[in-house]
Structure 1
Amino acid sequence: MPSQSKLLSITTWLLGLLTLVAMATQLTIHLRLNFSLVNFFSYFTNLANLLAALVLIATASLRLASRELSPALESARAVSAVNMAVVGIVFSVLLRNVDLGSLQPWVNVLLHYVMPVAVMLEWLLRPPRTRFTARHVGLCLVIPLVYLAYVLVRGAAISWYPYPFLNPAHAGGYGGVALYVAGIALVFWLVACLLLIVPKRRQVRNH
């Protein structure tokens, strides 16, 4: 493995580990303040960063061992890259000026800024060899759609929502929530389509 490639793998491995440490730190603070464990993992940012950290560690470990990534892991990379890109976009557009409560500033920067950029760079610098299709684009939409359904059903039951734009009381009713949901779903679809074009272009250049 070339030294530059090895350095990239070590860096991404360490970044994945740092993200797990950041999330554990924030979870400890969250529980110390008697906040709900379920609520902590009801934030899409936390779910997306947890997946991204595990994927980074897994892919970096395999590359350091000079082993190929399986199609399943490449698919997980695609899902993670799409999730993290949207996390960065949605936070910057809708949540940048929202009160983040007990969220530590360094954790906020890592989860909302550093990780989205890092995951995207890792994807672009190392495009997957798997040939993606429309089915993979659909796969990237499964998690966010299930998540949105979960948040809306649970929120209606307990009157708690992780994000103000999903709360009918702050979004102008369910009609306003529906517009936000449709917009976010569209962003997921567009990002998935754009990211899955990258490996196809690489394959064309290699032929």
Structure 2
Amino acid sequence: MHTWLAPARLAVAALAAVALGFSGYHAATDPTGVVNFFGYFTVLSNLAGVVVLALGGWAGLTGQRPLPGLVRGAVVLYLVITGLVYGTVLAKYPEQLAIPWVNDVLHRVMPLVVLADWLIDPPERRLRPRAGLWWLGFPLVYLVYTLLRGWAVGWYPYPFVDPAVHGGYRRVAGACFLIAAAFVLVGAGILAVGNALAARRDARHGTTPRGRRAHARTT
């Protein structure tokens, strides 16, 4: 691993933690409230990003075992989708721009950083295709929770999941289908690129990819 990568991870994790703290304080002092604050996928994905970058940076500084690629890849997927959805759908909504610099950190900087981190330091072992299926579990649980809680309390974190907006549940279903397709496609791309870069690294270092079980025993 590059010597500069560990401190860079810690620095970005600290920046994102400060941004989340500012955003959380802002939510606690306005009608959003703390509970609703943690109902945003942006907040949850960035919290996961802070943890992954901080642990990865600490492991790099102390020589400990790196985080599993399965965990890192999931966070990369969630943050990349966060950035894409914000850039294509949410940026035009004024309420999403309450603290511009925080939005820049959480919706632009963090997605780009974790993706770059994945490309610079690919997973330590080859990930199997079913890893992508595990990555989809959290977004599915989040969607179900958001719809059920929204129906119960009348608050939705994003306009495209709010059936009260023009189009009702048919529009919500369409938006969820498109985002689900984005999760599948982006997740497959992250998995494929990570495996390709890991294989290239192993070939360059003359090692056998650790995700492949090559039992070459003589009898």
- When the two structures are superposed, what TM-score results if normalisation uses the length of structure 2? 0.87
Q: Deviations over 1:162-204 (max 9, x none)?
A: 0000001225111110111111111011111101112321344
- Matched residue, 2:90: 95
- Matched residue, 2:42: 45
Q: Secondary structure at the match of 2:122?
A: coil
- Matched residue, 2:153: 158
CA RMSD of aligned residues (A): 1.6
Q: Does 1:35 align with 2:32?
A: yes
Q: Does 1:135 align with 2:130?
A: yes
Structure-to-structure mapping, 1:1-207, within 5 angstroms: 5-71=2-68, 74-100=69-95, 103-205=98-200, 206-207=202-203
Q: Deviations over 1:53-80 (max 9, x none)?
A: 1100001110111223143xx2211110
**Residues 130, 199 of structure 1: 8 Å contact kept:** no
Q: Secondary structure at the match of 2:98?
A: coil
Aligned residues: 202
Q: Secondary structure at the match of 1:117?
A: helix
Q: Which ranges of structure 1 fall in alignment gaps of 5 or more residues?
A: none
Q: Which ranges of structure 2 fall in alignment gaps of 5 or more residues?
A: 204-219
Q: Secondary structure at the match of 2:66?
A: coil
Q: Deviations over 1:127-164 (max 9, x none)?
A: 00222112210111011111011111111111110000
Q: Secondary structure at the match of 1:132?
A: coil
More helix by share: 1
In structure 1, distance between residues paired with 2:101 and 2:152: 33
In structure 1, distance between residues paired with 2:56 and 2:126: 18
Judged with a 3 Å threshold, the aligned counterparts in structure 2 of structure 1 residues 123 and 171 are, in CA distance, closer, same or farther, namely farther
Runs of 4+ in 1 over 6 A off after TM superposition: none
CA-CA distance at 1:118 after TM superposition: 0.6
Larger Rg: 2
CA-CA distance at 1:8 after TM superposition: 2.0
In structure 2, distance between residues paired with 1:122 and 1:171: 40
In structure 2, distance between residues paired with 1:120 and 1:102: 23
